[in-house]
Amino acid sequence: MVLAILIIYLLIIFLVGIWGNKFNNGVDDYLLAGRRLGTWFASFALVATLYGGGKVVGLSEQGFESGLVSWWNGIGGGIGFILISLIAYRMRKLALFTVPDYVMKRYNSNGLRIMCCLLSLIALLGILASQVFAASSILEMFGVGSMTGAVIVSVVFVLYTAIGGLWGATITDFIHIIIAAVGTIVTSIIVLVKAGGFGGLGQGIASVDTAEYLSITGNWNVSFMVWLALPLILYNMIGQDVYQRLFASKDGKTAKHSAFIAGIILIAITLFPVIIGMGARTLFPEETNSALALPLVVGEVLPDFLAGLVLAAVMAAIMSTANSILTAGTSHIVNDLYLNGVKKKELANGKTLDEKFLVKLSRTWTLILGAIAILVATILPSIVDGLLISYTLYTAGVFTPVIIGFLWKKGTKQGAYASFIIGLFVAILGIAGVSTFGIPIEVLSVVVALIVYFVVSLITYKGSQEVEESLEKVVGDK
């Protein structure tokens, strides 16, 4: 029954995603849903970019190991959305396609735009692979081999995303988030009841300090809280999957309100996977493998019908993030590398490109990115590791040129290049195991990038009219 429910759900979602293709009349529709998303569609689409396998499966694992402090991963994502709502109005008014488009507009540097594009693609593929990894680990519990499970789920979301584009992804996201939220909430309530309430979580386990386990601060383990939250805060302020939804909103006010609402929703619903993980450790005290937290609850605690619905909810969460990442990655390929790279001179000379060809090209690259993600998923050590490495690398290089460049008028192209390269270099060293003197690499890489940006910009800034006019185009409209 469990797999039957999942198969039915996958079939319904596949058909809905294909139905979204009826709205695709050109590349603008395919990549940005015609810039017509209303507040709630945009809000749910934003939540869907983060509430995926890395949240439902990954947070249940983290909750199993560390307790309530794990919620900071979800809180960080919500804070990132709330912060981006402060500049979403002006960002939407720029009517761009991608974050590298903004970099080009701000710094007038095609090289920097391409560097940001490539780093974003690497991060997006890491996040996408984490969703495939999550899907395979859940399906394996039901007797479907790891790679087989990854291929089954991946084929579904890759195909309906390739056919339906952002319209199809947005419509299915609306369904996914409702199913995912309801499924995880119901499961967490059942787990709490069986564990004897919130106070019963972690009780009777010799290796667990109950007070620390139930504390949102983890006895003020600040470095761990930062490790969980900061990458999400920073990433959500610059992620292409996030900005694509903002750019797809119908106007600036919609983008602003949607980002704020998405932040509140994300903070609320990410608590429930953490509770599920904590409950799994309480109900199965002999189990030490955190990766089995959610599978144990689904397979051993829930009746078959509910288990099927929850499995569908988990797959919904995974696919909601996966299709968001796919459309974001495709936007980079088609807009940044093809239209503004390969075909830039031709378009500048007045040549027009066939919209049908661009949609076909977009679909082809959606399929290619999906296939690459499956391969990457086979080498990931864990879901959370894959996500946090992706977030850390991207934010180390891109956060400062984008956000500080938006807020500070003296930021220069030279400062942006220097901060990108050195911030990324520091992040790579930290991930490789080089000592960071006890400072979380997520913090150190961004701080170094900020210092370099300010120093180099002040040295190279001349207060020229060109710099002032470039900035005015980007942030002049309040």
- The distance between the two most distant Cα atoms of the chain, rounded to a whole number of Å, is 73
Q: How confident is the model at residue 258 (pLDDT cuts 50, 70, 90)?
A: very high
CA atoms within 13 A on the CB side of 170: 30
State the Cα–Cα distance between residues 230 and 73, nearest whole angstrom: 8
Provide the CA 437 distance to its chain's centre, in angstroms: 29
Phi, psi of 251, rounded to the nearest 5 degrees: -160, 180
State the Cα–Cα distance between residues 265 and 30, nearest whole angstrom: 26
**pTM listed for this prediction:** 0.85
Distances (CA, A) of 322 to 135, 395, 472: 11, 20, 36
Phi, psi of 249, rounded to the nearest 5 degrees: -65, 155
- 344, 114 in Cβ contact below 8 A? no
Phi, psi of 477, rounded to the nearest 5 degrees: -85, 115
Provide the CA 105 distance to its chain's centre, in angstroms: 24
What's the whole-number mean pLDDT along residues 151-175? 83
Reduced to 3 states (helix: H, G, I; strand: E, B; else coil), residue 37 is strand
Structure tokens at 260: 């704020």
- Domains recognised in the chain with CATH numbers: 2-381 (1.20.1730.10)
> How high is the pLDDT of residue 478?
47
Task: Express each pLDDT in 112-134 by its tens digit.
Answer: 999 999 999 988 888 787 777 77
Rg (CA), the chain: 22
Burial class (CB in 10 A: 0-12, 13-18, 19+), 285: middle
> How high is the pLDDT of residue 463?
62
Task: Express each pLDDT in 419-475 by its tens digit.
Answer: 999 999 999 998 888 877 777 788 889 999 999 999 999 999 876 555 555 555 665
What's the whole-number mean pLDDT along residues 287-305? 83
Task: Express each pLDDT in 202-254 by its tens digit.
Answer: 887 877 788 888 888 877 777 788 878 888 888 888 989 899 999 999 999 99
- Average model confidence (pLDDT) for the chain? 84
Task: Express each pLDDT in 329-359 by its tens digit.
Answer: 999 999 999 988 888 877 777 777 788 888 8
